[in-house]
Amino acid sequence: MATASKTFELDSLIEACQHALTTDTPQEAIRNIVSDMIQDHHQVRQALGQQNVASVEKLYASETLSIVNFVWAPHMTMPAHNHNMWAVVGVYEGREDHIFWRRKKDAGEGKIEAAGAASISSGEVICMNIDAIHSVTNPTNLFTRAIHIYAGDFFEIERSEWETLSLTENLFDPEKNRERFESENRKYQAIKGR
């Protein structure tokens, strides 16, 4: 017997995640919420929009919870960075390839080295712990869309990013990050206009 698909409702997602934070295993509870939600990716995409623009869309943010809709341009890469809070990521369209990094012992300057990788496609979820450092790539020719949920205020917390060539640590720069997304959109428009 077929079941009716659930309509994506942001208020319901926020409420469910806030409740999950009060449980004994909040990250696991939010992982289950996101996993259920993204199974009907058409509903999520319809509710959040279908524009082809790389963006970081704040859906909700408080001191204990942030819900962000990431749209990655084709072949876009976000260099290594951390969040200083645990996270749950669910892709509802496309694919994210993650490289996980760890701090190199006795290397100085916060240098990092690759420590693992994961790839998640539409309908899949990944969890990251509070100490996670990762880079993200959309390896496809299409836009990738994903819901990222953080256990804190993603937009206010101090965090780090790593220089792509030297892999040295710097303070995360929101303005530099905005420019990164704008640059990806300009590249996409230039290719599309050919």
> Does the global pTM surpass 0.75?
yes
Contact present, 116 and 95 (Cβ < 8 Å): no
**pLDDT values of the chain reduced to their tens digit, one per residue, 194 residues:** 333 345 689 999 999 999 999 999 999 999 999 999 999 988 999 999 888 999 999 999 999 999 999 999 999 999 999 999 999 999 999 999 999 999 998 877 789 999 999 999 999 999 999 999 999 999 999 999 999 999 999 999 999 999 999 999 999 999 999 999 999 999 999 988 76
One-letter-per-residue 3-state SS of 182-193: HHHHHHHHHHHC
Contact present, 101 and 112 (Cβ < 8 Å): yes
